[in-house]
Amino acid sequence: MNIFVLLKRTFDTEEKIAINNGRIEDDGAEYIINPYDEYAVEEAINIRDEHGGEVTVVTIGDEDAEKQLRTALAMGADQAVLINTEDDLEEGDQFTTVKILEAFFDDREADIILAGNVAIDEASGQVGPRLAERLNMSCVTTITSITIDGDTANIERDVEGDVEKVETSLPLLVTCQQGLNEPRYPSLPGIMKAKKKPLEELEIDDLDLEEDDVEPKTKTIEIFLPPEKQAGKVLEGEMDDQVKELVSLLKTEAKVL
């Protein structure tokens, strides 16, 4: 079985975000595998262990993303691919990402592609479904369980507090939600083995793409931090007086009434 995982390098969730001149300041920032993509890597390994085949992890970025790919290899993936766009792209969006991945999968047979439900930096949730559409594959999002029997997949997906059961066929693209599994930590033997596992590096020229082909369709106008939370107020006095003051504050300050 040919199993692929789409992986994104994102800020560490513990990292404090700073903005300088309208751009995110990332000098010295720590990066990790997008947490939702970790569920995809873990599930891909589980599927391979049960059904055989190979797990290939794919990411788009610069050479620094090799660290996250090596982490996925240390978890148990078989091989990795870095599509290096450092010298070809200054900006990109979901269209750019999907266009590159579509070209990558053009001459590859994928039985199942797994991705994170969303990336924690932009949280668009678009790449998986858009890629499935371009590849003419079935797509199921926010999965919390998957069982494969031959060419049939039985899936449970999260639908805002409830569960939807879906039966579909391979080839298939799924996006993975929290609760699907518990991602493993790379072991020391896994880390040592990862150093010897194949990591292929491609550029967009290798995919027969020109810069104009992957020009983003959207433009970021402004980046800013949310306003700091103001201190709360403690209402005192008799209950009737507190209720009157609360209603007044909701009207005059919060402006929700």
Comma-separated ranges of CATH 3.40.50.620 domains in the chain: 2-214
198 confidence band (pLDDT: 50, 70, 90)? very high
**Average pLDDT value over all residues in the chain:** 90
Least confident of 71-75, 133-137, 200-204, 213-217: 213-217
Distance CA 139, CA 153 (A): 11
Tokens of 194: 């990862």
pLDDT in tens, 150-162: 999 999 999 888 9
Going by C-beta distance under 8 Å and a sequence separation of 6 or more, which residues neighbour residue 116?
Answer: 6, 8, 34, 35, 36, 37, 38, 39, 40, 175, 176
Distance CA 81, CA 66 (A): 9
CA atoms within 13 A on the CB side of 199: 20
Residue of 30 and 141 predicted with greater confidence: 141
Best CATH choice for the domain 2-214 from the list 3.10.20.30, 3.40.50.10490, 3.40.50.620, 3.40.50.300:
3.40.50.620
Q: Which of 64-78, 198-212, 234-248 is the most confident on average?
A: 64-78
Q: What is the DSSP string of 43-107?
A: HHHHHHHHH--EEEEEEEE-GGGHHHHHHHHHHT-SEEEEEE-TTT-S---HHHHHHHHHHHGGG
Q: Is the pLDDT of residue 147 over 90?
A: yes
Our measurement of the distance from residue 88's CA atom to the centroid of its chain's CA atoms, rounded to an integer in Å, reads 22
Question: Rounded to 5 degrees, what are φ and ψ at 130?
Answer: -70, -40
pLDDT at 28: 67
Q: Is the pLDDT of residue 47 over 90?
A: yes
pLDDT in tens, 88-103: 777 888 999 999 999 9
